[in-house]
Amino acid sequence: MISGRRVLLAVTGGVAAYKSALLTRLLVEDGAEVRVILTESAHHFVGPQTFAALTGSAPYTKLFDSDSVSPHTELARWAEVIVVAPATAASLSKMANGLSNDLFSATVLAYTGPVLIAPAMHTEMWEHPATARNMAILEEFGYETVGPESGALAGGDEGVGRVAEPEQIHEALSDLLGTRPDLGRLLVTAGGTREPIDPVRYLGNRSTGKMGHAIANEAAQRGYDVTLVTTSNLHADPAVNLVEVETAEQMLNAVEQVDMDVAIMAAAVADFRPAKKSAHKLSRSEGLDSVELVPNPDILESVVARDKRPLVVGFAAETGDVERAVQKAKRKDVDLLVYNDVTEPGSGFGTDTNRVTFVNRDGSVDPMPLTSKDEVAAQLLDRIAALRSLDS
């Protein structure tokens, strides 16, 4: 079953492209979300309208002059699997050599997940050492292949090189994707809360939500049922249940609605909010000598206090030494705390990197090297998996 899975089908330019319309129909009927890339040469064999009608949205065709500033990385992030069918000799060569001079090749180069290729070409081309070499390289990349079959080829020829049938490609794709593991429900809070003074101004902090979004996206890819309660409008994986909030109180209300097995509290929640919010914009002439503050609810505390307590991960963005974080982990009674020093280069707010130290329940600490936030997300989820397997 590939129901609900996000399949990016790249149709490259060969006669066999017409079979990709049938493949598209099979995938859509099986419940997959299908997006199609049509290369320039594929347009000689099939039309965009066919795929638009089958998938409900126009195929992607251009690296430049499209609505997106970066269509290749957007598609690569969206896809759970890329299927190249038919894969011509030229497209195999592009992928094997890392070309990125059109939407198809740039997307494959920007993609890190599984790729399934269905080669289609004349026997001589298939058997040429250049193609054999390209196939060996693609195999080394971990790409999977279905076909080619032996039979009638374009122009009345016969031999090996015929594209696999749509049903075969569909089956190979189901095998490749496997059944998605059910890892349970996971909550992530992300971003800095904004506590209004009037309709225009707020008290806030410098958190952008990058770390929390990276965790939510990685968790969704791994098979968690993810709810992301966030103040940030950064990219979220389409599989993530997104709840957008602004204030700590809204965040608490949203979190209270969520059943969870794991809670990752990455948000920078304001500890205080203005006691009063003016309904109109305060003017300079009115003056504002001081802003009275009242404490905000501690969202993490409410999660820890649940009858059915989930595994709880806290975050501590500090400016001091790790001992403060060790004390915080104990005080907050979390299963794991992720500490970082925001004054360190590369570990501050809004960066793509982070250097974190994991603080364990027993007070021991594991300092990690500076790395991307995506990698920190992956390491954190590995640790959570290990903690959960100890529990069960």
Catalytic residues: 205
Q: Is 243 in the site for ligand CTP (CB under 6 A)?
A: no
Q: Is 359 in the site for ligand CTP (CB under 6 A)?
A: no
Among 63-71, 239-247, 309-317, 340-348, which window interacts with ligand CTP (CB under 6 A)? 309-317
The minimum distance between CB 191 and ligand CTP, in angstroms, equals 10
Among 4-12, 161-169, 261-269, 358-366, which window interacts with ligand CTP (CB under 6 A)? 261-269
Q: Is 336 in the site for ligand CTP (CB under 6 A)?
A: no
Helix or strand or coil: residue 318? strand
Q: Is 144 in the site for ligand CTP (CB under 6 A)?
A: no
Among 10-18, 91-99, 222-230, 308-316, which window interacts with ligand CTP (CB under 6 A)? 308-316
Peptide bond into 297 cis (omega under 30): no
Q: Choose which of 164, 216, 248, 254 interacts with ligand CTP (CB under 6 A).
A: 248
The minimum distance between CB 271 and ligand CTP, in angstroms, equals 5
- Among candidate residues 160, 164, 222, the one with its CA nearest the CA of residue 26: 164
Q: Is 169 in the site for ligand CTP (CB under 6 A)?
A: no
Pairwise CA distance, residues 271 & 195, whole Å: 10
Q: Is 265 in the site for ligand CTP (CB under 6 A)?
A: yes
Cβ burial 211-231 (10 Å sphere, 16+ → b, else e): bbbbbbbbbbbbebbbbbbbb
Among 33-41, 86-94, 172-180, 295-303, which window interacts with ligand CTP (CB under 6 A)? 295-303
Q: Choose which of 74, 144, 165, 298 interacts with ligand CTP (CB under 6 A).
A: 298
Q: Choose which of 45, 104, 126, 315 interacts with ligand CTP (CB under 6 A).
A: 315
- In this structure, the strands spanning 336-341 and 356-360 are antiparallel
The minimum distance between CB 264 and ligand CTP, in angstroms, equals 8
Among 10-18, 80-88, 222-230, 266-274, which window interacts with ligand CTP (CB under 6 A)? 266-274
The minimum distance between CB 52 and ligand CTP, in angstroms, equals 44
74 versus 249: smaller Cβ distance to ligand CTP: 249
DSSP string over 77-88: HH-SEEEEEEE-
Among 46-54, 118-126, 162-170, 312-320, which window interacts with ligand CTP (CB under 6 A)? 312-320
Pairwise CA distance, residues 258 & 299, whole Å: 12
Helix or strand or coil: residue 107? helix
Q: Choose which of 236, 316, 359, 384 interacts with ligand CTP (CB under 6 A).
A: 316
Q: Is 126 in the site for ligand CTP (CB under 6 A)?
A: no
Q: Is 271 in the site for ligand CTP (CB under 6 A)?
A: yes
- Packing angle, helices 166-177 and 17-29, rounded to 10: 50
Q: Is 310 in the site for ligand CTP (CB under 6 A)?
A: no
DSSP string over 1-24: --TT-EEEEEE-SSTTHHHHHHHH
CB neighbourhood size of 362 (10 A): 7
Contacts of 171 (CB under 8 A, 6+ apart): none
271 versus 352: smaller Cβ distance to ligand CTP: 271
Contacts of 375 (CB under 8 A, 6+ apart): none
Q: Is 384 in the site for ligand CTP (CB under 6 A)?
A: no
Pairwise CA distance, residues 25 & 52, whole Å: 11
Query: Please, what's the largest Cα pairwise distance for the chain?
Result: 87
Pairwise CA distance, residues 58 & 36, whole Å: 8
On whether the CB atoms of residues 153 and 88 are closer than 8 A, the answer is: no
Q: Is 191 in the site for ligand CTP (CB under 6 A)?
A: no
32 versus 299: smaller Cβ distance to ligand CTP: 299
271 versus 382: smaller Cβ distance to ligand CTP: 271
Backbone phi, psi, residue 82, to 5°: -110, 130
Q: Choose which of 11, 38, 82, 269 interacts with ligand CTP (CB under 6 A).
A: 269
Pairwise CA distance, residues 216 & 197, whole Å: 30
105 versus 189: smaller Cβ distance to ligand CTP: 189
Q: Which residues bind ligand CTP (CB under 6 A)?
A: 189, 248, 265, 267, 269, 271, 296, 298-300, 314-316
